[in-house]
Amino acid sequence: METLAGRALPASVPVGEAWELVDRADAQSVVAGGHWSGRTLGELWRSERARCFGGVAGPDQFPLLIKILDAEETLSVQVHPPVGLAAELGGEPKTEMWYLLDARPGGHLYAGLRRGVGREEFRAALGAGTVEQTLHRIKAGDAMFIPSGRVHAIGAGCRILEVQQNSDTTYRVFDWNRTGLDGNPRALHIEQSLRCINFDDPEPALAAPGADGTVVECPHFRVERIEVRESADLLRNAPWTVGFVLAGDIGSGSERFVRGETFLIPSGAAGVRFQADGPDGAQILRITG
């Protein structure tokens, strides 16, 4: 988190994730400077939507939540509820994607189930503590799409940018037979998970940028990887855009954004071009809703 994203972290506290762009009741992104300085993302989304977001229709909260995840050890096996079940279970639906920023040698991801694993085989593995044998394990690569209902876990040593629906609902189905900091097993949500897991989703493949740079496109977001050699209109054809700097640095006027930084371009910046510095340009993830 310090080297890839330039964060200053407390020495004695483990930090596993940073919420880069957030509009939640318990957490808000705040404008760092300029005309809207000090205003929260939620305030702008609700009271200045026409000026900042092109007046697009949508929910009461900004539709995306963007995080950086630093998995020092393999994270728990999880699933997020699909839209048809979320309200019934008291949660929010969540589809997400992972973009790999870095991984230790041998880094891997778990996504979906092995071919032939059904509900009863998975339930039996839960009882026996052998869930890993049912999971599709894949070497960490460019990106992985995680639609709601896809069981998943991030392997140790992976650093990831996560783009997701604005939801904080996660059902933990297996935690590698570990205990928590208090010495007791962490709470699991087995019955909710079994209702949410898509058992017709065997061995999904990694997502890789297409010829136009698109990494993932779904009804909730589109993520592109863009090479900026000199300048680019990052807002093009969108009412708003979120940028994440993968390499190099980029900016417009006096505003500069460097590796590991997330920035939001409002609709009022239509036509503004962003310039990359240096002979190698910059590499950007462009995220739109």
Question: Using CA atoms, how far apart are residues 144 and 100, in angstroms rounded to an integer?
Answer: 8
Half-sphere exposure of 11 (CA within 13 A, CB side): 0
CB 35 within 8 A of CB 269: no
Nearest CA-CA partner of 18 in 124, 209, 139, 159? 159
114-142 b/e (C-beta count within 10 Å ≥ 16 → b) = eeebeeeebeebbeeeebeebbbebebee
Strand order in the sheet with 282-288: 214-217, 222-228, 282-288, 241-247, 262-265
Element (H, E) at 287: strand 282-288
Please confirm, yes or no, whether 172 is among the known catalytic residues.
yes
Strands 222-228 and 249-252, sheet pairing: unpaired
Question: Using CA atoms, how far apart are residues 31 and 22, in angstroms rounded to an integer?
Answer: 12
CB 285 within 8 A of CB 223: yes
Q: Active site residue: 49, 150, 172, 225, which one? A: 172
Annotated catalytic residues are 172
